[in-house]
């Protein structure tokens, strides 16, 4: 099964089409936009993992090539026409050349198989087509106008046409000056009608200008006459221009034939570029949502940390939620407009996005691959409109709930609402029983008090609530797993000024079990807030101790560094002192003392005496 059992209505209710529209807006050209809008979730784990890996590679490619994909153009109609033998205009041929150039630029970095193995595989059909690009660039300017040098014949014809036009203008200017002096012209102006040079002649002076009338003004006061002396020159110019036009058409036909000859190559390149650009768009969407790559696992589980609904923007309150670990069914209770529906939609949308190969806006995510995803979320509301309605659509539920199994993710907003509360609660519990027994993963929202106790009585079921600030009387939109929600209606009424005796009277009308449940929930809520405050204080104390420990460790490292430097300095000074003493001793030993000098003098004197005596003999 490649696609999960997931009807378009569920996608609509989870706002998935809005995500696809945002994705399409990030694509560079029509073929990739079409891919984006056609994207659907897959129920095959390998497909999901491949899609997510493509986003990872595209993310890394954009880090080095942020402009990748620019310049792509949708040339599918042009290629199809050329393949049928049709003629493309100059601008259309330039579009084809620009596409080939942009495709080559996109494929160049993507072909690094070491860094982007999947993108490199996608880019394989993209290749340079010199027969198109060089030929088009040589023959056409960027605006699609044929260059004179597109062919020798065209160059010669255009050169002759310029000479002839100059001769016609010179002759016309001479005639215009002469006729202006005669006062027969409406104004001194050379213009064109039907490709012929003409002069604006006053209608009452028409007989004064021999020639061919080509047009007249709306008022009839002016006639546009081609003077007889320039008719033959105009004819020659016209023939030259027609010959040039035929040569231009021949060149365009030749270039169009080159495009048609590469039609299959171009079609494959368009498909490859569309998918590459689609991958880049998914990476850009992930960056824009500050999204993370979900970890896809075999078991049908959900674990979201700091998940944010992408359509709420910066004001989205992150939620932590899980299914399939300690419990399979999560019952969210609390006041209307408190964020229950947003939490439910967030879970469903994260699962759908991940299975479609999109990263999800959260700190981290662990998600299984579900074969069936179903959402019943009141009316066809949009989360962008901040609406919260509760209307149970039993028609849809009847179709979706019976076949549910452990690989089903079922999302039920205000389950059992829209009928008698007793019957609605009973129906809701029966549905949850069935889904729980089938092993489905379920998130259900409700304001029925009886469903709060349901979670306590059944295994693999957990309560959750959206937090409510009793001081401001406003929901905080934070999801609290493990604690059921309170209606807070009486407390809100009291704080808004309802007399205390009326509040107490209303409280007396509550059934004893309901009152006890509310009191128990109130106590649990107070305990939870106290424990959270204590936990926050402990966390702050741990942070303070950790910072102090880090500071102490840094101080110890500093002292150790100072001791080491001081020890090194002492050793260096000691070595220097010893070296000085050794050097002084060596110098002293090298210089003789007084006694040694006297001994040498005596020896020198004795030797001198002996030499004198020897000389006397």
- In the DSSP assignment, the letter for residue 112 is -
Q: Which residue has the higher pLDDT, 226 or 353?
A: 353
| Paired tokens of 596 | 């040694």
Residue found under tokens 């079990």: 513
CA 588 – CA 592 distance, rounded (Å): 8
pLDDT of res. 616: 43
CA 121 – CA 435 distance, rounded (Å): 43
C-alpha pair distances (Å), 293 with each of 49, 116, 282: 10, 17, 11
For every residue of 235-296, which 3-state class applies, written as one string?
A: HHHHHHHHHHHHHHHHHHHHHHHHHHHCHHHHHHHHHHHHHHHHHHHHHHHHHHCCCECCEE
CA 47 – CA 356 distance, rounded (Å): 9
Closest CA to 169 of 181, 157, 158, 177: 177
**pLDDT tier at 141, thresholds 50, 70, 90:** very high
pLDDT in tens, 432-446: 999 999 999 999 998
Q: Is residue 102 within 8 Å of residue 92, measured between CB atoms?
A: no
Find the mean pLDDT for residues 130-137.
94
CA 488 – CA 357 distance, rounded (Å): 41
| Paired tokens of 366 | 């662990």
Give the burial class of 285: count Cβ atoms within 10 A of its Cβ; 0-12 exposed, 13-18 middle, 19 or more buried.
buried
How high is the mean pLDDT of the chain?
86
Residue 392 has pLDDT above 50, yes or no: no
Q: Which residue has the higher pLDDT, 474 or 290?
A: 290
Residue 233 CB coordination number (10 Å)? 18
Query: Which CATH number applies to 295-502: 2.40.50.200, 3.30.300.30, 3.40.50.720, 3.40.50.300?
Result: 3.40.50.300
Backbone angles phi, psi at 175, to 5 degrees: -65, -40
User: What global pTM score does this model have?
Assistant: 0.75
- In the DSSP assignment, the letter for residue 617 is -
C-alpha pair distances (Å), 446 with each of 9, 263, 452: 21, 58, 9
**Domain residue spans of the chain:** 25-129+262-288, 152-231, 295-502, 510-590
pLDDT in tens, 356-367: 999 999 999 999
Q: Is residue 324 within 8 Å of residue 302, measured between CB atoms?
A: yes
């Amino acid at each position: 099964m490649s696609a999960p059992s997931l009807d378009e209505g569920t996608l609509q209710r989870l706002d998935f089409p809005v995500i696809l529209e945002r994705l399409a807006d990030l694509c560079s050209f029509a073929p990739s936009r079409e891919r984006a809008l056609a994207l659907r979730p897959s129920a095959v784990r390998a497909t999901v993992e491949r899609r997510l890996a493509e986003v990872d590679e595209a993310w890394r490619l954009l880090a080095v090539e942020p402009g990748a994909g620019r310049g792509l153009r949708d040339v599918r109609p042009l290629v199809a026409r050329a393949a049928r033998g049709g003629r493309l205009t100059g601008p259309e041929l330039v579009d084809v050349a620009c596409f080939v150039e942009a495709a080559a630029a996109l494929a160049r970095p993507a072909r690094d198989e070491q860094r982007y193995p999947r993108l490199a595989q996608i880019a394989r059909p993209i290749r340079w087509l010199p027969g198109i690009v060089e030929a088009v660039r040589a023959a056409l300017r960027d605006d699609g106008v044929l260059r004179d040098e597109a062919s020798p014949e065209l160059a010669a014809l255009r050169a002759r046409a310029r000479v002839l036009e100059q001769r016609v203008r010179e002759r016309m200017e001479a005639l215009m000056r002469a006729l202006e002096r005669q006062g027969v012209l409406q104004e001194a102006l050379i213009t064109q009608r039907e490709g012929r040079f003409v002069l604006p002649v006053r209608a009452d002076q028409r007989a004064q200008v021999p020639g061919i009338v080509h047009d007249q003004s709306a008022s009839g006061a002016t006639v546009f006459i081609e003077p007889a002396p320039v008719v033959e020159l105009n004819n020659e110019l016209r023939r030259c221009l027609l010959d040039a036009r035929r040569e231009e058409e021949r060149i365009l036909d030749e270039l169009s034939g080159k495009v048609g000859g590469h039609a299959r190559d171009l079609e494959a390149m368009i498909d490859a570029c569309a998918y590459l650009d689609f991958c880049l768009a998914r990476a850009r969407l992930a960056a824009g949502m500050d999204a993370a790559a979900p970890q896809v696992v075999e078991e049908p589980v959900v674990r979201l940390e700091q998940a944010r609904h992408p359509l709420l923007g910066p004001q989205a309150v992150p939620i932590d939620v899980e299914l399939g670990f300690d419990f399979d069914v999560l019952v969210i209770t609390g006041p209307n407009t408190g964020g229950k529906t947003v939490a439910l939609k967030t879970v469903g949308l994260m699962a759908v996005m991940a299975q479609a190969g999109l990263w999800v806006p959260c700190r981290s995510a662990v998600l299984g691959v579900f074969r069936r995803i179903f959402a019943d979320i009141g009316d066809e509301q949009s989360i962008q409109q901040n609406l919260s309605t509760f209307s149970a659509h039993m028609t849809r539920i009847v179709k979706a709930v019976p076949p549910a199994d452990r690989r089903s993710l079922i999302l039920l907003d205000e389950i059992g609402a829209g009928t008698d509360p007793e019957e609605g609660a009973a129906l809701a519990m029966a549905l949850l029983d069935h889904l729980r027994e089938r092993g489905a993963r379920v998130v259900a929202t409700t304001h029925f008090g009886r469903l709060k106790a349901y979670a306590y009585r059944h295994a693999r079921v957990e309560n959750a609530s959206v937090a409510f600030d009793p001081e401001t009387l406003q929901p905080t939109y934070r999801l609290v797993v493990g604690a059921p929600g309170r209606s807070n209606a009486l407390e809100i009424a009291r704080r808004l000024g309802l007399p205390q005796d009326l509040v107490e009277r209303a409280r007396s009308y509550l059934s004893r079990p309901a009152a006890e449940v509310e009191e128990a929930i109130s106590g649990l809520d107070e305990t939870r807030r106290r424990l959270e405050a204590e936990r926050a204080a402990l966390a702050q104390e741990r942070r303070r101790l950790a910072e102090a420990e880090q500071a102490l460790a840094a101080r110890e490292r500093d002292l150790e560094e100072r001791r080491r430097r001081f020890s090194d300095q002492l050793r260096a000074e000691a070595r220097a002192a010893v070296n000085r003493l050794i050097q002084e001793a060596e110098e002293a030993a090298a210089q003789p003392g007084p006694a040694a000098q006297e001994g040498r003098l005596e020896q020198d004197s004795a030797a001198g005496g002996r030499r004198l005596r020897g000389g006397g003999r």
